[in-house]
Amino acid sequence: MRQITALLLIVFVLLLGACATTPGTGSGPPPGSAATAVDEYQIGVDDIVQVTVWRNPDLGITAPVRPDGMISVPLIGDVQAGGLTPSRVAADIGQKLSAYVRDPQVAVILTDLRSHEYLSRVRVTGAVRQPVSIPYRQGMTVLDAVLAAGGVTEFAAGNRSSLHRKNGRGAYDAYRAYEVQLDEILNGSDLSTNYPVAPGDVITVAERAL
């Protein structure tokens, strides 16, 4: 009898573990914040990048990427930026600066996404006063995007809103929807679904059934 009880207990624990690791269907937050999405973004010509070096402000620059894909950094000259991610560019700059600066801590931030402006837009549709397609900005959240659309209409069912994000980076990748409790966000009672948005996101505000 004890062996049977122990066996049942093991099966129960395994079932609990399987449930805990099963992917959600959109009830959780989107995978990756906006910062992550931007960090994977490949820098293009005309994008504005900001380079900072900790404790070395004179080495910092803010400049557009030239048509040849390069940016000029003090001490080391031209550095390839076009076609690379911000983290890769930061690593390359850090490696080159190490010949002049001890243990350089480099950060590369995109301040204006110009090259892929269309792909980088955030769109708000549904029961908003003015459906919009707006340029992505670092730090932008669901609330920022909805306010840019003029807020919701009197017919909005805010708590049935959704954030749609591509599963991949291709043009025809499927979108996955994540629930947004917009009513709670707007009245300030619960901001847990005020997700950071990413380039290409689509926010849909549902309408109430008449």
Domain residues for 49? Answer: 44-112
| CA–CA distance, 155 with 127 (Å, rounded to integer) | 7
Last residue within a domain, chosen from 112, 129, 164: 112
pLDDT tens for 174-186 read 788 999 999 999 9
The verdict on residue 142 lying in a domain is yes
pLDDT tens for 66-115 read 988 999 999 999 999 998 999 999 999 999 999 999 999 999 999 987 77
Are 97 and 126 members of one domain? no
The pLDDT confidence band at residue 138, using thresholds 50, 70 and 90, is confident
Are 78 and 126 members of one domain? no
Token pair, residue 55, equals 């404790």
Residue 12 confidence (pLDDT): 41
Last residue within a domain, chosen from 112, 131, 149: 112
Are 74 and 128 members of one domain? no
- Residue of higher predicted confidence among 120 and 39: 120
Are 59 and 85 members of one domain? yes
Q: How many domains does the chain have?
A: 2
Are 107 and 124 members of one domain? no
The verdict on residue 52 lying in a domain is yes
Last residue within a domain, chosen from 58, 79, 112: 112
